[in-house]
């Protein structure tokens, strides 16, 4: 089996006649190809001559173009080309079992990839249930010139996935310097044993602000608990 790619569009293209929209289906599903908006698309192409894998001796390059289509599923032939890519890299050694069973490192004659940044530019306004039809046309350059070897529709979906994960931690907002914060941490009273020189203050429960600071001093070689009055802050 070929390496897994998230958005594979697998097309069996007949070189002896153009495959028009009602005929060209995804070889994986037998249905109109589907792909998510803003994701990588891999068009995997198998080229046939009267239902037999073609040896590709007459092909020089293949181009896939994506164009606008109406909601009724009609490609706009005069509309602007939205995406276009050409390849001349072919796997002429492709066998019938490799294509039929999706086996081998390259189980196709040619692959044309559109990046996520490219498919994200497709206009998804006027969608129905977050879906919108676009058209695709596949042409090839041969010794006889350019021929059409496939055309069809592709149903593009806005899935809403962002991959944001846990998000971005907010920036801390404080007015203390790092040195001030470090000093606060070191002087903080903790349950159990504390650092030398640490004391703690208890304030008047009535809210006057006055309090007593408790700390330890050595007297006659023994630790003695001391208190000192502290004024309101």
Q: What is the pTM of this model?
A: 0.67
Q: How confident is the model at residue 201 (pLDDT cuts 50, 70, 90)?
A: confident
Q: Copy the structure tokens of residue 60.
A: 């020089």
pLDDT of amino acid 22: 52
For the chain, what are the domain ranges? 8-157, 178-230
Residue 222 DSSP SS3: strand
Most confident of 12-21, 189-198, 211-220: 211-220
Classify domain 8-157 at the CATH topology level.
Immunoglobulin-like (2.60.40)
Q: Express as a percent the part of the chain with pLDDT over 70.
A: 86
d(CA 38, CA 161): 10
**44 burial type by CB count under 10 A (0-12 exposed, 13-18 middle, 19+ buried):** buried
């Amino acid at each position: 089996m070929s390496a897994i790619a998230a958005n594979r569009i697998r097309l069996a293209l007949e070189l002896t006649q153009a495959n028009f929209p009602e005929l060209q289906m995804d070889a994986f599903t037998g249905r109109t190809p589907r792909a998510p908006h803003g994701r990588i698309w891999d068009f995997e192409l198998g080229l046939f001559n009267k239902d037999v894998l073609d040896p590709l001796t007459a092909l020089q390059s293949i181009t896939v173009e994506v164009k606008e289509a109406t909601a009724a599923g009609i490609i706009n032939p005069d509309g602007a080309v939205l995406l276009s890519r050409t390849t001349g890299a072919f796997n002429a050694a492709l066998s019938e079992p490799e294509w039929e069973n999706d086996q081998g490192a390259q189980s196709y004659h040619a692959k044309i990839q559109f990046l996520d940044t490219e498919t994200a530019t497709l206009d998804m306004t006027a969608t129905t249930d977050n879906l919108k039809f676009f058209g695709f046309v596949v042409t090839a350059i041969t010794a006889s010139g350019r021929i059409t070897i496939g055309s069809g529709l592709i149903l593009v979906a806005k899935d809403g996935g962002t991959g944001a994960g846990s998000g971005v931690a907010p920036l801390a907002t404080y007015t203390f310097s790092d040195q001030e914060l470090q000093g606060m941490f070191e002087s903080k009273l903790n349950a159990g044993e504390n650092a030398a020189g640490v004391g703690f203050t208890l304030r008047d429960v009535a809210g006057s602000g006055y309090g007593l600071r408790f700390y330890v001093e050595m007297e006659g070689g023994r630790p003695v608990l001391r208190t000192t009055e502290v004024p309101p802050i």
